[in-house]
Amino acid sequence: MLHNIQPEDHGPLGPEMAKAVSTCVHCGFCLAACPTYQQLGQEVDSPRGRIVLMKEVLEGSMQLDDALPHVDACLGCLACEPACPSGVPYRDLISPFRANSEKQRKRSLMNRFQRLLTQLTLPYPSRFRMAAKTGRLAKVFASVLPGSMRVMLDLLPDQLPPRQSWKERYPAQGKQRARVALLTGCAQSVLDPDINTATIEVLTRCGVEVIVPPKQGCCGALSWHVGNLHQAQHFARQNLSAFPSGLDAIVTNAAGCGSGMDEYPLILKGTKDEAKAVAFSQQVCDVSLFLNRLGDLPEVPDSGTKKRVAYHDACHLANAQGVREEPRALLRMIPGVTVMEIADAHLCCGSAGTYNIDQPAIADDLGKSKIESVLATQPDLIATGNIGCMTQLGNHLSKAGEKVPVKHTMQVLRDAFAG
Ligand code: SF4
Ligand code: SF4
């Protein structure tokens, strides 16, 4: 697409944004893949429409306020990327655009408070745990609270699992085949810490030494996707220094965290840490991909039970990291498991970081549709690779009165190994 963007006017992220815009040929192949276009039915809420809006703001021919409602409605699910024949790197446009817009945009007092609350709690496990406990108590006052606060309270689980902590090192069982470091995640380690325990158990059983760096922090994805570049850079730098060298991989088990860490080179673009971020991101690998690359995995015992497992593709695993077949292959290793394919698997479940807080109506519609498609497979179990999706699917299952368990792929595999 021809444009008049002056990259140097938009800081270190300007050239990336201009390049993404120039790659788009306006063909429209991405429209059918976009969940918000399907929901809202307007060109301005499609990838192509948003690219044009952002281009015009960057060129100075459109007011930021006119574009923001449609840019804000973007899930950042990246379903448009694999659908695009020209290879438009949409992620290089949407998050930098949001980061640059933050300096100019005006927010209501309530919106500022809501953002502050999520950004000061979600990325910090102890604060998040405390906020979740306090929020549960505040649910009795929900009817007198503003709508956005009620949405946040609704999303809180009724009960948190007991706190878990992890040692700094877990030796491989048997002959050591690899050495990795694990990102334990922030919200995940509060909402379902067993995912990390299961991941460590599976990796060590497969001959992998696992390091859990004690000084690691949030991956920064939550901050990055809502335009808080400063906080995203802080977390990226913290992790650059927390993770040791001499690893075969930096393993993630939350799709959002993995894709966030993949984007460290963009987050730290034009800073003195950029080269370090490039080397770091090259080591980041989702656990399902790592195990598939490792190969020659131990045999899973046959429990004699048959299970239909619906596998839900987390957007930040399938679209952002291109990891689709690997989790399915791990599930198929389990005797008796049939992996069920969900219709319209490319459509986001509506979780998308803090999207279900920021855009509750669209998130709710997407959650309902996803659950209908999942239940159509008549599953005994739902597996996925992202805590945000697990929470969203769990909430919508419970609203629908369904009790199908939702587990992380690592939990399914760990349980199957245990027999
Ligand atoms: S990231 Fe998702 S919601 Fe946003 S334009 Fe792309 S497909 Fe649509
Ligand atoms: S498919 Fe790619 S090139 Fe075509 S309109 Fe969408 S983003 Fe642009």
- Report the atom number in ligand 2 closest to the C-alpha of 23: 3
Tell whether 187 and 277 lie within a shared domain: yes
State the distance from the centre of ligand 1 to the C-alpha of 82, rounded, in angstroms. 11
Pocket test for ligand 1, best of 44, 90, 97 (most atoms within 8 A of CB): 90
Nearest CA to ligand 1 atom 2: 77
Q: Are residues 87 and 139 in the same domain?
A: no
* pLDDT per position as a tens digit, 148-160: 666 666 677 778 8
Q: If you measure from the C-alpha of residue 94 to the centroid of ligand 2, how many angstroms do you get, rounded to a whole number?
A: 14
In a domain, 2, yes or no: no
Binning the chain into helix, strand and coil, the percentages to the nearest 5 are: 55, 10, 35
- Residues 363 and 278 reside in one and the same domain: no
Give the ligand with the smallest distance to the CA of 35: 1
> How far is ligand 2, taken at its centre, from the CA of residue 46, in Å?
10
The answer to whether 191 touches 160, Cβ cutoff 8 Å, is yes
The single residue listed with the structure tokens 């009790």 is 403
394: part of which helix (H) or strand (E)? helix 387-399
Q: Say if 85 falls within a structural domain.
A: yes
Strand partners for 311 = 341, 383
> What tokens appear for 80 in the block?
């448009």
Strand partners, 178: 208
pLDDT for res 158: 75
Q: Tell me, what's the pLDDT at 111?
A: 82
Tokens of 242: 């927390």
Contacts with 136 (C-beta within 8 Å, 6 or more apart), sequence order: 156, 158
**Same structural domain for residues 270 and 376?**
no
Q: pLDDT digits over 258-306, tens only?
A: 999 999 999 999 999 999 999 999 999 999 999 999 999 999 999 989 9
Check whether 363 has a pLDDT greater than 80.
yes
Q: Does 174 lie in the same domain as 290?
A: yes
Is 302 part of any domain? no
Region 382-391: mean pLDDT is 95
Q: What is the pLDDT of residue 16?
A: 95
Residue 40 belongs to a domain? yes
Atom of ligand 2 nearest to the CA of 29: 1
User: Are residues 187 and 128 in contact, defined by beta-carbon separation less than 8 angstroms?
Assistant: yes
Decide if 330 contacts 338 (C-beta within 8 A). Answer: no
Q: How confident is the model at residue 140 (pLDDT cuts 50, 70, 90)?
A: low
Q: Are residues 97 and 149 in the same domain?
A: no
Q: Per-residue confidence at 93, pLDDT binned at 50, 70, 90?
A: very high
- pLDDT score of 117 more than 90: no
CATH number at residue 278: 1.20.1050.140
Q: What is the mean pLDDT of residues 237-251?
A: 97
pLDDT at 41 over 80: yes
Atom 3 of ligand 2: nearest residue by CA position: 24
Q: Are residues 205 and 116 located together in one domain of the fold? A: no
Nearest-CA residue for ligand 2 atom 6 is 30
- Structural domain count, the chain: 4
**Tokens at residue 111, please?**
């919106």
| Sequential DSSP letters for 149-167 | HHHHHHHS-SSPPPP----
- Domain ends where: 239, 264, 294? 294
pLDDT interval class at 59 (50, 70, 90): very high
Q: CA nearest 260: which of 290, 281, 287?
A: 281
- How big is the chain, counted in residues? 419
Residues 276 and 176 in one domain: yes
DSSP letter for 44, please: G
- Strands of the sheet containing 307-311, edge to edge, are 337-341, 307-311, 381-384, 406-408
180 and 133 together in one domain: no
266, 357: one domain: no
pLDDT of residue 148: 64
Give me the pLDDT at residue 119, please: 85
Q: How many helices (H) and strands (E) does the chain have?
A: 23, 9
For the chain, percent of residues with pLDDT exceeding 70: 95
How many degrees, rounded to 5, is the angle at CA 116 between CA 111 and CA 118?
95
Residue 299 within a domain: no
Residues 207-243: pLDDT tens digits? 999 999 999 999 999 999 889 999 999 999 999 999 9
Same domain, 55 and 87: yes
Q: What is the pLDDT of residue 147?
A: 65
Whether the per-residue pLDDT at 118 is higher than 90: the answer is: no
Structural domain ending residue among the three candidates 294, 328, 357: 294
Same domain, 91 and 123: no
At 194-208, the pLDDT tens digits run 999 999 999 999 999
Residue after which a domain boundary falls, among 57, 74, 102 = 102
| 362: in domain | yes
CA distance 349 to 1: 31
CA 256 to chain centre: 2
In angstroms, what is the span from residue 13 Cα to ligand 1's centroid? 20
Hey, whose CA ends up nearest to atom 8 of ligand 2? 24
Distance 7 CA to ligand 1 centre (A): 23
Q: At what angle do helices 147-155 and 125-138 cross, to 10 degrees?
A: 110
- Measured from CB, residues less than 6 Å from any atom of ligand 2 are 24-30, 47-48, 80, 84, 86, 88
Q: pLDDT tens-digit profile of 304-351?
A: 899 999 999 999 999 999 999 999 999 999 999 999 999 999 999 998
The span from the CA of 91 to the CA of 395, in Å, is 28
Q: ∠ CA(7), CA(10), CA(13), 5° rounding?
A: 80
Range with top average pLDDT, 155-169, 184-198, 353-367 = 184-198
CATH label of the domain that carries residue 42: 1.10.1060.10
**Where in 199-273 does DSSP place strands (E)?**
208-211, 249-252
Whole-number Å distance between alpha carbons of 303 and 340:
19
The ligand with the least distance to the CA atom of 346 is: 1
Distance 59 CA to ligand 1 centre (A): 22
Q: Is the pLDDT of residue 56 over 90?
A: yes
Secondary structure class of 401 (helix, strand, coil):
coil
Burial bucket for residue 41 (CB in 10 Å: 0-12, 13-18, 19+): exposed
Top-confidence residue, 149 or 417? 417
What was the pLDDT predicted at 418?
92
Whether 266 contacts 16, CB under 8 Å: yes
The answer to the question of residue 312 being in a domain is yes
Query: Which ligand 1 atom lies nearest to the CA of residue 30?
Result: 7
Where helices occur in 252-324 by DSSP H, the ranges are 255-262, 264-267, 274-283, 287-294, 315-318
Residue 142 has pLDDT above 70, yes or no: no
In a domain, 160, yes or no: no
State which residues form the domain around 125. Answer: 109-155
Give me ligand 1 centre to Cα 31, in Å. 9
CA of 89 to the centre of ligand 2 (A): 10
Give the CATH number, domain containing residue 385: 3.40.50
Query: Cα(351)–Cα(77) distance, rounded to whole angstroms?
Result: 10
Given a cut of 90, whether residue 141 has pLDDT beyond it is: no
* 310 backbone dihedrals φ, ψ, rounded to 5°: -80, 120
Q: Mean pLDDT for the chain?
A: 92
